[in-house]
Amino acid sequence: MTFPPSPSAVLAQVRIALDERSYPIAIGHGLLGDPTTWAGLPAASTALVVTNDTVAPLYLAPLRAALGHHYRRVLEVVLPDGEQHKDWATLNRIFDALLGAGCDRKTVLFALGGGVVGDMTGFAAACYMRGVPFVQVPTTLLAQVDSSVGGKTAINHPLGKNMVGAFYQPARVVCDLDTLRTLPPREFAAGLAEVIKYGPIADMAFLDWIEAQLPSLLARDAQALAHAVRRSCEIKALVVGQDERESGLRAILNFGHTFGHAIEAGLGYGAWLHGEAVGCGMVMGAELSHGLGLVDAAFVARLRRLVEAAGLPVRAPDLGAERWLALMRLDKKSEAGDIRFVVIESPGRAGVRPAPEPLVREVIARCCA
């Protein structure tokens, strides 16, 4: 199914300030198929678009046509869709395409798709010939508000999510809001989890706005979506600009992710969408914060109501306490085997700290009950 193109319009631009690695995030309508969107990128003779078999029928043709104004060759590689394919074998298909076409180190990669495509394309760009430019073209809400921004690239390992990867910044991020019209409801709800996340960790006024505008967001109102994407990117840009490689502050962006990644790995990648696991993980993280005496029960209940109203699960799968703990010890925030969690230290402010194992077990039991 295809949609008629919207008139091209950049509604907002957010900048990631990282000195020589700084780049813009363009947010608007009709951007993907507009040749002017792609002007000013590193000069090259070849572009390679990496996408998947769900997104390709919708958006590959207009992007290829637009890029044809700037590159002599526009190549493509279409990967299978799904988190379960975020692995070495699928990643190697990108390298096969690059090497098979004789691509040089100036070749520009374009990640057209959601978080899986963006993560794998970025990782391939970081590795191919020790680094080639790439551009994020996120087509899901989750990717537009989170995974396309900040330079985290990775593939999954059977023992843990995103455990093999690199920090590698894109040259540009282009968020065409029109692509959100084709998202299935479940995928759209998964993206809302990452929008909601920014409220408890950084901006309670934004959380108030999300609660008030949730019906408009679920109806995919263009104005509401534009604000949600812009504000999410602004918060993430502020955090990444201060801590690019997650040595401290940036870890707060992983609120709900320690529990969430355990859900994904424990059930098998793809059983729950990433945003579904994060939504449930945020409820568990709020319960843990309450158990540590940092927030009250009303805050936990408020977050649970919002996550549930967004169409996300709030009850965790019963993996067994030992399995839960083993998976969370593989989290990248863990130190010397001690699990460290992003907690809400007060509404609108987050931090990273360990938690007593008996309390963690209690939270797991309560949230799985």
Just list the catalytic residues.
130, 152, 194, 236, 246, 250, 254, 257, 261, 274
What contacts 73, CB < 8 A, 6 or more positions away? Answer: 45, 46, 47, 101
User: CA torsion 252→276→327→352, rounded to 10°?
Assistant: 10
Q: Can you spell out the DSSP letters for 270-303?
A: TSS-HHHHHHHHHHHHHHHHHHTTSS-HHHHHHH
Q: How far is CA 57 from CA 80, 113, 122, in A?
A: 13, 12, 22
Bridge partner residues of 128 (DSSP): none
CA distance 343 to 233: 21
Q: Which of 260, 323, 324, 263 is nearest to 286 (CA)?
A: 260
Dump the DSSP string for 202-253.
Answer: H-HHHHHHHHHHHHHHHTT-HHHHHHHHHHHHHHHHHHHHH-TT-SSGGGGG
Q: How far apart are CA 150 and CA 324, in angstroms?
A: 28
- The answer to whether 279 and 196 are in contact (CB under 8 A) is yes
